[in-house]
Amino acid sequence: MNGFYSSERVRIDLGDERSYHIAIGTGLLAEPAAFEVARAGSAALIVTNTTVAPLYADALARALAGRHSQVARLVLPDGEQYKTWDSLNLVFDALLGGGFDRKTTLYALGGGVVGDMTGFAAACYMRGVPFVQVPTTLLAQVDSSVGGKTAINHPLGKNMIGAFYQPLAVVCDLDLLKTLPARELSAGLAEVIKYGPIADMAFFDWIEANIDALRACDATALAHAVQRSCQLKADVVGQDERESGLRAILNFGHTFGHAIEAGMGYGAWLHGEAVGAGMVMAAELSRELGLVDAAFVQRLTGLIDRAGLPTRGAVIDADDNAGRYLQLMRVDKKAEGGEIRFVVIDGPGRAAVRAAPDALVRQVIDRCCA
């Protein structure tokens, strides 16, 4: 296979026939063999958006042409604010209107927004059709395309309507990251950095040493970041696919981050930016709980800053900022009986899920918000 990094394949082992591979390499979009997992002769629908379609939809359609009887495409509006029922319905309109049957394969060509929505559409259409993730952002390559979480947003909460539904395969072509704006690359680095404090401080050391190369889109550095992130995520998802416990650690920084996204209005802050500031807040909370020291929080904050991400939370309500955070965080999926549960760092490289007194959380929010 041209340009295929055959050594860079990560397996998501779910213990049954739903297990699949993540292919990580260059030139994959031009390589029909990278997509051979889909049922030969079936129809295909590429779901993408107005930004990604002109860049990559033709190349993907060419790669799929020999395998599928028909390759159609649907171009959705671009943006987190369109991760909605309306956009989801556009996918169903295209599928039903085009007479697509239950053997149809959906291809999610885009970042996490397209990936999450396409996956949810695949989970629902005719009670489930196969889909393949072709992530085009760093964030999607290191996190959202892997592990089968699919969703749309609700005005009252982020990713609140969705399903666990695994793709047939994930194809990460690193070449696609060359067109990614710098701000989006930084947003993806938030999810790369996340894996260090929760699971692998040696990887954290490596990110610190290579952050400039990553921001400069150095191919070797990006390949390692994607491969290691996917491996760490695969290890967690393989143990706890449906987040009955361990998988929650992948949400480090997300409880505060989701409140920022919903509180500011979806799209105002990028998901990765909200996670960056959210990780600082979660680390501060960990310090308040006596689990890590100030030097650790400072080190993490320094790396988030060097990644080009915000290290201060947003003010989402001028009158009662902490109160609004608490209100939004109570609808977090990890909350139980109205009690918010936070992913905290329980010593560098180890995460835990804990409740914390409201008064303490308020202090952290007051201290961390601009």
Q: Which residues bind ligand GLY (CB under 6 A)?
A: 143, 147, 149, 247, 250-251
Beta bridge partners, 12, equal 20
d(CA 360, CA 357): 5
Q: Are 10 and 33 in contact (CB under 8 A)?
A: no
Count the helices and strands in the chain (H runs, E runs): 12, 11
Residue number of the CB atom closest to ligand NAD: 112
Which one, 315 or 352, has the nearer CB to ligand GLY? 352
Query: Looking only at residues 117 through 136 of this chain, which bind ligand NAD when binding is defined by CB under 6 A?
Result: 136
> Is 154 part of the annotated catalytic residue set?
no
Q: Which residue is catalytic, options 31, 191, 284, 288?
A: 191
CB-facing half-sphere around the CA of 287: CA atoms within 13 A: 19
Widest pairwise Cα distance in the chain: 61
Amino acid at residue number 132? V
By CB under 6 A, is residue 185 in contact with ligand NAD? no
By CB under 6 A, is residue 272 in contact with ligand NAD? yes
42 binds, among ligand NAD, ligand GLY, none (CB under 5 to 8 A by kind): none
Q: Which residue is catalytic, options 251, 287, 299, 333?
A: 251
Q: Which residue is catalytic, options 68, 194, 224, 271?
A: 271
> Is 31 part of the annotated catalytic residue set?
no
Alpha-carbon distances of 7 from 26, 194, 203, rounded to whole Å: 12, 24, 19
Q: Give Rg (Cα) of the chain.
A: 20
d(CA 165, CA 68): 22
173 binds, among ligand NAD, ligand GLY, none (CB under 5 to 8 A by kind): none
d(CA 344, CA 334): 13
Which one, 42 or 255, has the nearer CB to ligand GLY? 255
247 binds, among ligand NAD, ligand GLY, none (CB under 5 to 8 A by kind): ligand GLY
Q: Are 92 and 74 in contact (CB under 8 A)?
A: no
Candidates 112, 157, 196, 276; binder of ligand NAD (CB under 6 A) is 112
By CB under 6 A, is residue 78 in contact with ligand NAD? yes
d(CA 6, CA 8): 5
Among all residues, which ones are annotated catalytic?
127, 149, 191, 233, 243, 247, 251, 254, 258, 271
Judged by the rule CB under 6 A, the positions of this chain that interact with ligand NAD are 49, 51-52, 55, 78, 80, 83, 110-114, 116, 136-137, 139-140, 143-144, 147, 149, 159, 176, 179-180, 184, 187, 271-272
